[in-house]
Amino acid sequence: MRSVQETNVMIDAGLGKIPCDLVIKNVKLVNVYSQEVYETKIYIKGKRIVSIDPDADLIAEREVDGDGMYALPGFIDGHMHYSSSMINPEAMAQVIVPQGTTTMCVDLMEISNVAGKPAIDLLLENADKLPYRIATEVPTRVPTAPGLETTGRLIDVEETKELLGRPGVVALGEIAPAKILQRTDESIQKIVDAINMNKLVNGHAVGVNTQEISVYASAGVTDDHEPVEWEEALDRLRVGIHVVIREGSGARNLKMFIENALKLGYSFENTFFCTDDKHITDIQNEGHINHNVNLSIKLGVQPITAITMATLNAAKHFRVEHDYGSITPGRYADIILCDSMREIHPKQVYFEGRKVFEKDKMPVERIDRVYPAWIKDTVKFKRPITPELFKLKAFSGKNSVTVNLIELVKNQIVNKHKTAVLSVKNSEVLRDSANDIMKLAIVERYGKNGNVGVYFVKGFTLKRGALAYSMSHNHQNICVIGANDQDMALAVNEVKNIRGGLVTVIDGKVVAAMPLTIGGLISEEMDANVIADQLTKMNKSAKETGCTLASPFTTLSFIGHPAIAELGPTDMGLVHVNKQVHIPVIVD
């Protein structure tokens, strides 16, 4: 929010009546409005840009020589979740700022499903102290599938409206198709409140067909980060829904979109980038939004177009282009200095006029905090977890039964609804390891009812042991996959012992564990490198089970999503995502 005093100071600095705080000289400005690159200097007063005029001769208290580098606007991540990265907002700064990201559009649905609105307040407590900006997307899916899953807390209409009215809020968070196509008064009221408060409505239209996407758009949805096929992306663009091009850990959709758009001659004007769910190790290894930009350029997008997608396009979409998204007068001084436009690796990063990264160092004090005990006590069991709970009984007297099967799609978070014939022994339905069919369970972890749902999944490539994770979108119950029931039970119990997190068990032994004590979803470690090392060890341990997936724990966390096609197992049953009803595991 601007004040009269700030505006007057900006005018006086521009007129030369008072000195600017900083001038960055000798830079090649990438102007995303005029689509030009030209040599100039950037004058800054306080947090904002005063002038980019090459001929301006204003007074500045400090000078920085840009050494002929390119000056780009700070990058914007159009949609992400802290929980999926397993990293708290304070430690996240150490990872994204060196990559040039200065704004994160954050949906806090996961932690909200665990602990409600107080958890949102908690995670945003240090927002004004961070060396990057949090643009909040108010969660809508708390819960995602009412009556089909058990969650820790709810966020109702009145709480949603209060959150929408807060400064820094840019949208109503991603809304599941069922909340519109099988609407309730509550879900529609949240949408209407957002629109009437001039906020956008984020989409999450997995598996929605052409006519349904028109209905979805007519309700007020403005964007979608879920297209995994070109036809889906085109359907959304045709009805005025902006496509948010996702490149994360579990879902990589950028190559598909860019290659098709270039081949068919489609404009990138109504697209921008997001990571959605990207692990800290992937950010460190390949980059953040700069990775999306660099990969787009390698695929054939003009550099200034890719940069505009990562900056101005996102800012315009969220109606904040008056504040950020470009290096132009009046906007916040979010600036990346780098040697190349074709391969962007920042040398310096400025956020709101202060230098926050230079030469592999962050010249700003690291923010540490101790999270309160109540958010670290969220994993509770109603009853003891034993191997018997993971047996699926068949009472038909047959030697085999047909089951509804979850089949994973490689490098995506969607799955396919298939069937399989599985053997029955002593009335128990067995795994089929020869065909990569493993047993999966969702264990209720709020101490409410003790539910354990048992299912079968194909494509995880696990051969032995078990993997467990206290994050299962979006109910956030424990998801466990295993080659035997004993290891599954041990893995789930160890998740509780560490107060939430990742666990790998092999042959009756816990071989690796990573605590995620903030709501059972996020690490409380303040050093990003510690979190990265822990996750690297977990992924290595997962490979010891025979799993060959690139991001096994991300994949595991999305299997139980009741709003991502086609099947979503919860603690209460197997959800047919499009119909939003439970279907039986055993078909006959």
Let me know: does 86 contact 279? Beta carbons within 8 Å: yes
In the chain, which residues have pLDDT < 50?
none
Using CB atoms within 10 A of its CB, is residue 212 exposed (0-12), middle (13-18) or buried (19+)?
A: middle
Block residue for tokens 């089929």:
432
Distance, CA of 214 to CA of 425 (rounded, Å): 49
Decide which of 301, 317, 340 is a domain's last residue: 301
**Residue 52 resides in a domain:** no
Using CB atoms within 10 A of its CB, is residue 37 exposed (0-12), middle (13-18) or buried (19+)?
A: middle
pLDDT digits (tens, 9 = 90+) for 106-146: 999 999 999 999 999 999 999 999 999 999 999 998 988 88
Q: Are residues 288 and 381 in the same domain?
A: no
Q: Are residues 113 and 240 in the same domain?
A: yes
Decide which of 301, 323, 340 is a domain's last residue: 301
β-pairing, 271-274 with 242-246? Answer: parallel
**Residue 366 resides in a domain:** no
pLDDT digits (tens, 9 = 90+) for 47-100: 999 999 999 999 999 999 999 999 999 999 999 999 988 999 999 999 999 999
* Complete DSSP assignment for 488-502: HHHHHHHHHHTTSEE
Let me know: does 20 contact 43? Beta carbons within 8 Å: yes
Query: Which is nearest to 131 in space by CA: 338, 371, 361?
Result: 361
**Residue 360 resides in a domain:** no
Residues pairing with 442 in the sheet: 453, 479
- Residue 196: how many CB atoms within 10 A of its CB? 10
Distance, CA of 475 to CA of 484 (rounded, Å): 25
Q: Are residues 164 and 260 in the same domain?
A: yes
> Six-digit token pair at 192?
């209407």
Question: Buried b vs exposed e over 440-465: b needs ≥16 C-beta within 10 Å?
Answer: bbbbbbbeeebbbbbbbbbbbbbebb
Let me know: does 467 contact 476? Beta carbons within 8 Å: no
Q: Are residues 489 and 389 in the same domain?
A: yes
Q: Are residues 569 and 467 in the same domain?
A: yes
For residue 276, give the 3-state DSSP assignment: strand
Distance, CA of 501 to CA of 521 (rounded, Å): 6
**Residue 468 resides in a domain:** yes
DSSP 48: E
**Residue 556 resides in a domain:** yes
Report CA-CA distances (Å) from 510 to 302, 488, 504. Answer: 49, 11, 6
Distance, CA of 206 to CA of 180 (rounded, Å): 13
Distance, CA of 125 to CA of 136 (rounded, Å): 13
Distance, CA of 444 to CA of 584 (rounded, Å): 19
**Residue 163 resides in a domain:** yes
Q: Which amino acid is at 216?
A: Y
Let me know: does 159 contact 186? Beta carbons within 8 Å: no
Q: What was the pLDDT predicted at 412?
A: 80
pLDDT digits (tens, 9 = 90+) for 167-219: 999 999 999 888 899 888 899 999 999 999 999 999 999 878 889 999 999 99
Q: Are residues 529 and 386 in the same domain?
A: yes
Look up the CATH number of the domain holding residue 219: 3.20.20.140
Let me know: does 338 contact 63? Beta carbons within 8 Å: no
**Residue 39 resides in a domain:** no
- Residue 248: how many CB atoms within 10 A of its CB? 26
Q: Are residues 288 and 382 in the same domain?
A: no
Q: Are residues 257 and 379 in the same domain?
A: no
Let me know: does 144 contact 474? Beta carbons within 8 Å: yes
For residue 380, give the 3-state DSSP assignment: strand
Let me know: does 213 contact 236? Beta carbons within 8 Å: yes
> Six-digit token pair at 95?
């990872």
Let me know: does 237 contact 222? Beta carbons within 8 Å: no
For residue 294, give the 3-state DSSP assignment: helix
Helices 528-543 and 89-96 pack at an angle, to 10 degrees, of 90
**Residue 264 resides in a domain:** yes
For residue 342, give the 3-state DSSP assignment: coil
Let me know: does 200 contact 319? Beta carbons within 8 Å: yes
Let me know: does 511 contact 462? Beta carbons within 8 Å: no
Query: Which is nearest to 219 in space by CA: 233, 235, 202?
Result: 202
Q: Are residues 410 and 279 in the same domain?
A: no
Let me know: does 486 contact 387? Beta carbons within 8 Å: yes
β-pairing, 169-175 with 478-482? Answer: unpaired
> Six-digit token pair at 544?
């010891």
98 contact partners, CB below 8 Å, separation of at least 6: 346, 349, 357, 360, 362
Decide which of 301, 316, 343 is a domain's last residue: 301
Domain limits at 493? Answer: 374-583
Q: Are residues 466 and 578 in the same domain?
A: yes
Percent of the chain whose predicted confidence (pLDDT) is above 70: 100
Q: Are residues 114 and 218 in the same domain?
A: yes
Give the chain's domain count.
2
Q: Are residues 393 and 484 in the same domain?
A: yes
